[in-house]
Structure 1
Amino acid sequence: MSMLRTWARDLAMGVRFAVAGGREGWVRTLLTGVGVGLGVALLLGTTAVPGAMAARDARGDTRETITSHTADRPGRDTLLIAHGNMTYRSHDVDGRLVQPEGPDAPLAPGLEKYPGPGELAVSPALDRLLKSDEGQLLRERLDGRITAVIGDAGLVGPGELYYYKGTDRLSEEADSSYVQRITAFENTLESPPLDPVLALLVLVMFTALLVPVAVFVAAAVRFGGDRRDQRLAALRLVGADGRMTRRIAAGEALAGSLTGLLLGAGFFLAARRLTPYVSIQGRSLFPEDLAPAWPLALIVAVAVPAAAVLVTLFALRNAVIEPLGVVRSAAPVRRRIWWRLLLPPAGLGLLVPLMGRGNESGRFNQWQVSAGVVLLLVGITALLPWLLERTVGLLGGAGPVSWQLALRRLQLTSGTAARLVGGIAVAVAGAIALQMLFAGVERDYSEETGQDPSRASLSILTRIGTEDRVDALGKAVAGTRGIAKTVPLASTSGVRDLADVESDTVVLTIGTCAALGEVAELPSCRDGDAFVLTGGATMRGESATATPGEKLFTGNIHDRSDGPAPTVWTVPASIRPAQARKDPAGHLRSGLLVTPAAAPKVHRYGSAQVYVTLDPGTPDALELARTAAYKADPLATAMTLQSTRTAPEFGSIRRGLFIGATLVLVLIGTSLLVSQLEQLRERRKLLAALVAFGTKRSTLSLSVLWQTALPVLLGLALATAGGLALGAVLMRMTNVPVRIDWASVAAMAGIGGGVVAVVTLLSLPPLLRMMRPDGLRTE
């Protein structure tokens, strides 16, 4: 018989034993399948993420107008459209104001027709929010009747808050840069690639999150080791040789892994149906988007059963299988350390040549980084069994009975305990390294804005061409409940020579005395005064000063072919100096400050904004101010002032890490619970016998806690050391100084230990049931 047929026969026999071996056989196979299935489900979900994000982006592009074809005048196929994005509490609410100009106007995806003036078409999630008590203030802001619900084709996700609002006022602003007249929806712009450091973050994040999954899958296929040893001895008794019994054992593991593949596919499909109801930090997915790429899914389908067979054969490599039992070296052969010590240096050897690169020296080699991180993390898994074996071997037998029972159990089966904790150790090490890397590069992607939220919470920026309405906008917002103060400021430019408007420009800031007091320290002020700023920051081509009586051209000085002619303005003779101070947005101005009575009479300014200070005693004052600004001018931009700002790409990657870490923690906890129950099930008769001989149940419960606590402490210590080493190397790779946030390190280790503690507590009720006398019953 050929070797291939021999392997097929023995593996098939092992599969039959696992499936048709009675209650014990299929329970063991089911537990193995659940453990493997949870890992497979997460692997399938990971392979589906890139496709899901691409589908989100593709649907978002179909409704964009960045590069759409535009028209100069109204026609049958033209549509006026403008952005109406806003923030409501912690939600981003995006939308468009639309006004069709003809029957053939391009229809936005997800709509059957456009809403009329004062009407709304909203996404299902926004529809639910608007109809809830939480959405009362947003209903007042949008102030429209809902006539349609946007279909899935027009949304990036089921939880997206998106709307189209019909209007008949866009024609008045058709010539402004805020309103487009389009003939089709189109976006041909490609998103710029992530810079090398952000790409490294994504790569390390995926690697660090997937390695614990692989460790758990490898541990799950070895459930039921003690019972399997009894069956292998029985097979030797009826004539099977050692190699055959190992192949049969591999067949049993293969059955569990195949069951795990089926269960994993079921778990994945069930979880996918729940995705529309899950929104993490405003991100959600349609179920059909979460489809694994078939090449990656095929790799998972082949790799998991193959790993099950190889892991089982590797586990039995030193076992002596005899008719009377399985002996793993009656005088146990100590685990070899040499090959375990090679893995971390090999990983470092791949990563060290990449040190000092950052964003300045090109992109990192993905395969080199992935291999280096995997070797370092797997090295932790390989070192843990050796470390646990040496530690429990050195500990003496003194101590309470529960400690002695736990210690003896660990001395006999330290490998099983190490396998259970190995995934936790790898996950914690990866989390520590990622936390260090994120903290190290955060400064490069976060910046101090210089804004002072204590002076103003909101800055309302007017549209170009509507700066002369800034006072009316300020008054409209000031009359709103919850607004303590509004500060309208407008700016225009003055030049001495119309033939050279790009150089020697004097900036004029126009506002009331109270408003000008936000940008300068005024000695005294009344309407009609003017000031020249000292100590301000001038931009290129600007002049910081002008002399009394000097004539300046202001207003429409750049595009004199369109609009009113420039206005000649004379600098007041009574102009006085004033020390500049930063405005609430953090800008230090230069040029002249002019009150309304002394200001030039112009129809076009350079810019204008309204700073809004809120009443801290009014609930939802910020939302009331945003609503007032939207109603006064839907195209104005209400910007919340904040002292720091984080790059959107960096924030998205951090959100992805949060989602991935959450899923891995759920997998870790569930897999640990399944494996813990399997271990207790195998020891049911032993536990019942100990209770029957008078051992206290509390003593046995404490022994189980000790058996978990000691491996966890060693695993967390090893994970902390490995995580710090990996984090330091990654920080040097991105060319940032190595700094350790010990509070974050302690938090990561605490989370890992907390998961194990919760799992142990959940396993106590089954443990108490297994201590009953009926646990001694046998068939």
Structure 2
Amino acid sequence: MIRLGLRLALGAGRDAVVRLVIIAAAVALGTGLLLGTLAALNATGTQNDRNAWLNTGRSGTGSAAATGSRAGGSAAADPLWWQIRADGFQGRLIGRIDTAATGPHSPVPPGMSRLPGPGQYVASPAMAALIRSVPAAELADRYPGHLVGTLGKAALPGPDSLIIVIGHHPDELAGRSDAVKVDAIATLSPGRCDGPSCEIGTDHNGMNLILSVVAAAMIFPVLVLVATATRLSATRREQRFAAMRLVGATPRQISLISAVESTVAATTGVAAGFGLYALLRPLLAHVTFTTSPFFLSDLSLTTTDVLAVALGVPVAAALSARIALRRVRISPLGVTRQATPRPPRAYRVVPLVAGLLELAYFIGRRPPTSGGQVRAFLPGTLLVLGGVVLAGPWLTMAGARLLASRAGRPAALVAGRRLADDPRAGFRAVSGLVLALCVTSGAVGVIDAMVHERGLPSAGTTVRNTVMSDHARYVPPGLRVGTVPTPPDGLLAELRAVHGVGGVTLVHSDPTAGSRPQRALDGGLADCAQLATMPVYGTCPTGAAVASVASSFDGYGLVGGPWPSTWPAVPMSRAALRSLPVTQIAVTTDGSRSAIERARTVLARAYPADDPPYTVGEDRARRSAELDGYRQLADVVIAVSFPIAGCSLAVSVAGGLSDRRRPFSLLRLTGVRLRTLRAVVLLESTVPLLAVAVVAIATGFLAAQLFLQAQLGYSLRPPGGEYYAMVAGGVIAALGVIGCTMPLLARITGPENARND
């Protein structure tokens, strides 16, 4: 029987070979995408593991910070002084690590053979290239010393990571309040910890979210594509196998032959899929599930991945073929007499309803741990996605019966009757696209609500391009107190001399702020002459010398209500103001790279012990980094789901036409016009698409609302115009795919196809 199955698969004529090639191609595409998804998930974890050393000095990360590790504390033999801060260049994050070895046995971070000494620094390849490509006054002058080496891949989350490690004398870092002594470099992956211990990288909450969303939203459509492909030409194969049953073949023999045919096609497709994965792998390196592209070597497959795909896809194909031939197994006359399949029952909507109820159950009962949250919401999400697919045939049947009852033309009547007779086949063609619409609606609903609730208000370009240098600490009752004296006039003159700088304002601590009821905008004092050079941040009353202002200008428009256009005057002289410590230096620019980076470099050199200067735009981008990550993840899911759905639709429509070549040929012989048959094919694909798409979109938004209420306490927001454009584009693309199959209809409905094979 195995030999016969091979002969039928490979030597049964042109149609069999074409069917084998189409199935193999579709399985290859699905397998390649599945392997790429698995490799990207593996790369995400590997990439995150390399963030571990950047969390050195934080408790619970394996870095063993010494007792009293703040400045002035004792440490073990040869500890390492460590200070990590966030610098920036044109919106790109730069990780700056200042180190100082206290002896020959101080720990060395990964990616380097030795620590840089005083006056030396080591940079990532991307950082070294950036330093060489821009004028020194814009970047290199911020860092004392010279480049002595590059960091290896073991220290880099991604190939574009900007990281610099600067060497110092121990005495230089010992006086810095945020420098710590550590006995070892952190080794615990952010993916295995949580909270402040893992500020850099994606903690296990985020990793669980990423892996769960990708697994549910990307692997599921790929599996639908593979299952669709393996059922190609199922009707014609059923007829052939039914004829074999009539001449004496047993059900077991039919099942074996069918399994051999499907396995041959699927095995060929899997082999080609591994080749496709090898071609896609360099492109996948540029896709990010987090914030950085992957190293090509990170995109690897485990032995389990390879075996699961290499063995699982052919087995799934054989099972799909076995299930497809269940009517032939029951009776050899079941197909030859064209028995109408049993209509789908209403119980098919039960899993969908159960998934929604499961999500609704956790409103007000959200588990406290991240693991519990994943276990709570992932089953409901999978039930919803699977429920949409399972309920699709029943919804298709309802739409088909409505179409047939309202039909005014022959095409509508034929399409409605055929869909009502076999709604499973009609829905199968559009199941991938319907699933993509459900995923897209849910993702957009969640992201839009989070952006509305957590998003930061936009500001004008002048505000966003303002360079800020912070020099403050917080003291009870939450006041910002300056930590540096008024900078010399030479520094202010150097800043104003930078081409493109509009104004410079110093924000001083207000010594009376703690003695009066605190307001959100209180706590700072500013020279009105300086403030006049940057009116976007408000002005002073006429004749005033000093005004009471916010203690920090980077919160412009974020807290405390509307930003005042005029600040209240304070009875204080400019000389008295200069004696007060400074909390912040604000420098407005024209937004040019030269102005922003030169001003930032001047401030960084003047205050090397404090946090590097930043722009307001960068600060707001960092505050919304989590939202940007979620939005990026949603974009990846949507970008992958729609092409997979389009491939599933193309395979299904082409296979359906091949299966119905004889009925359509007979209709043409009886006088039905080709135009009518084209309308039938279009309606048979459009009706299930529209009937189930409405339910899928509504389900996606409802699931998003339930998740938002249960997990975050948010409410769904109306989607923006991009969503409607995306849905319309997906539907139009689907109709285009269906339209591309119309020329095939003319070729397969000739008189020669009307005879029995």
- TM-score over 0.5 for the pair: yes
**Structure 2 CA distance for aligned equivalents of residues 279 and 348 of structure 1:** 30
Q: Is residue 193 of structure 2 the alignment partner of residue 191 of structure 1?
A: yes
Q: Is residue 617 of structure 2 the alignment partner of residue 639 of structure 1?
A: no
Q: Is residue 734 of structure 2 the alignment partner of residue 756 of structure 1?
A: yes
Q: Is residue 263 of structure 2 the alignment partner of residue 254 of structure 1?
A: yes
Residue 663 (structure 1) aligns with = 640
Residue 505 (structure 2) aligns with = 487
Q: Contact 2:366/2:373 (CA < 8 Å) preserved in 1?
A: no
Q: Contact 2:541/2:569 (CA < 8 Å) preserved in 1?
A: no
Deviations, residues 705-752 of structure 1 (Å, cap 9, x unaligned): 444333322231221232233234333433636435154764553353
Counterpart AA for 2:493: K
**Structure 1 CA distance for aligned equivalents of residues 744 and 624 of structure 2:** 49
Pairwise CA RMSD of aligned residues? 5.2
**Structure 2 CA distance for aligned equivalents of residues 305 and 162 of structure 1:** 46
Say if 1:180 and 1:379 are closer, same or farther in 2 by CA, change over 3 A: closer
Q: Is residue 590 of structure 2 the alignment partner of residue 615 of structure 1?
A: yes
Q: Contact 2:81/2:173 (CA < 8 Å) preserved in 1?
A: no
- Shift of residue 484 of structure 1? 1.3
**Structure 1 CA distance for aligned equivalents of residues 24 and 373 of structure 2:** 36
SS at match of 2:613: strand
SS at match of 1:326: helix
Residue 221 (structure 2) aligns with = 212
Q: Is residue 397 of structure 2 the alignment partner of residue 422 of structure 1?
A: no
Residue 573 (structure 1) aligns with = none
Residue in structure 1 matching 2:575, options 597, 611, 623: 597
- Shift of residue 494 of structure 1? 7.9
Q: Which has the larger radius of gyration?
A: 1
Q: Contact 1:91/1:282 (CA < 8 Å) preserved in 2?
A: no
Residue 496 (structure 2) aligns with = 478
Residue 237 (structure 2) aligns with = 228
Residue 141 (structure 1) aligns with = 139
Q: Contact 1:482/1:625 (CA < 8 Å) preserved in 2?
A: no
SS at match of 2:487: helix
| 1:161-560 correspondence to structure 2 within 5 Å | 161-164=162-165, 172=172, 174-179=174-179, 184-186=184-186, 191-192=193-194, 203=212, 206-242=215-251, 244-278=253-287, 282-292=291-301, 294=303, 303-319=312-328, 326-327=335-336, 329-330=338-339, 332-358=340-366, 364=372, 366-367=374-375, 369-395=377-403, 414-442=423-451, 445-446=454-455, 457-463=465-471, 466-469=484-487, 472-491=490-509, 493=511, 509=524, 511-515=526-530, 521-522=540-541, 524-526=543-545
- Shift of residue 485 of structure 1? 1.2
SS at match of 1:734: helix
- Shift of residue 482 of structure 1? 1.7
Deviations, residues 503-534 of structure 1 (Å, cap 9, x unaligned): 9xxx98554333467688545234xxx77x6x
Q: Contact 2:36/2:284 (CA < 8 Å) preserved in 1?
A: no
SS at match of 1:253: helix
Counterpart AA for 1:54: G
- Shift of residue 471 of structure 1? 5.6
- Shift of residue 219 of structure 1? 1.9
- Shift of residue 245 of structure 1? 2.2
Residue 564 (structure 1) aligns with = none
Residue 567 (structure 1) aligns with = none
TM normalised by structure 2 equals 0.75
Residue 631 (structure 2) aligns with = 654
- Shift of residue 487 of structure 1? 0.8
Q: Percent sequence identity over matched residues?
A: 25
**Structure 2 CA distance for aligned equivalents of residues 336 and 719 of structure 1:** 18
- Shift of residue 410 of structure 1? 5.1
- Shift of residue 221 of structure 1? 1.7
Q: Is residue 25 of structure 2 the alignment partner of residue 34 of structure 1?
A: yes
Between stretches 395-404 and 684-693, larger displacement belongs to: 684-693
Say if 1:237 and 1:360 are closer, same or farther in 2 by CA, change over 3 A: closer
Q: Contact 1:15/1:254 (CA < 8 Å) preserved in 2?
A: no
- Shift of residue 663 of structure 1? 2.3
| 1:595-744 correspondence to structure 2 within 5 Å | 595-599=573-577, 601=579, 605=581, 607-615=582-590, 621-623=595-597, 625-630=599-604, 633=607, 636-641=611-616, 646=623, 648-679=625-656, 705-734=682-711, 736=713, 738-743=715-720
**Structure 2 CA distance for aligned equivalents of residues 424 and 263 of structure 1:** 24
Residue 478 (structure 2) aligns with = none
Q: Contact 1:141/1:627 (CA < 8 Å) preserved in 2?
A: yes
Q: Contact 1:470/1:488 (CA < 8 Å) preserved in 2?
A: no
Q: Contact 1:321/1:327 (CA < 8 Å) preserved in 2?
A: no
Deviations, residues 386-445 of structure 1 (Å, cap 9, x unaligned): 333443355459777876786677567653331121121122123223332334455554
Q: Contact 2:88/2:614 (CA < 8 Å) preserved in 1?
A: no
Say if 1:345 and 1:394 are closer, same or farther in 2 by CA, change over 3 A: closer
Between stretches 218-227 and 15-24, larger displacement belongs to: 15-24
Counterpart AA for 1:109: P
Q: Contact 1:130/1:138 (CA < 8 Å) preserved in 2?
A: yes
SS at match of 1:157: coil
SS at match of 2:335: strand
SS at match of 1:662: helix
Between stretches 733-742 and 282-291, larger displacement belongs to: 733-742
Residue in structure 2 matching 1:62, options 43, 48, 53: 53
Q: Structure 1 regions of 5+ residues with no counterpart?
A: 1-8, 498-502, 539-579
Say if 1:17 and 1:146 are closer, same or farther in 2 by CA, change over 3 A: farther
Q: Structure 2 regions of 5+ residues with no counterpart?
A: 196-202, 473-482
Residue 559 (structure 1) aligns with = none
**Structure 1 CA distance for aligned equivalents of residues 513 and 670 of structure 2:** 102
Between stretches 650-659 and 400-409, larger displacement belongs to: 400-409
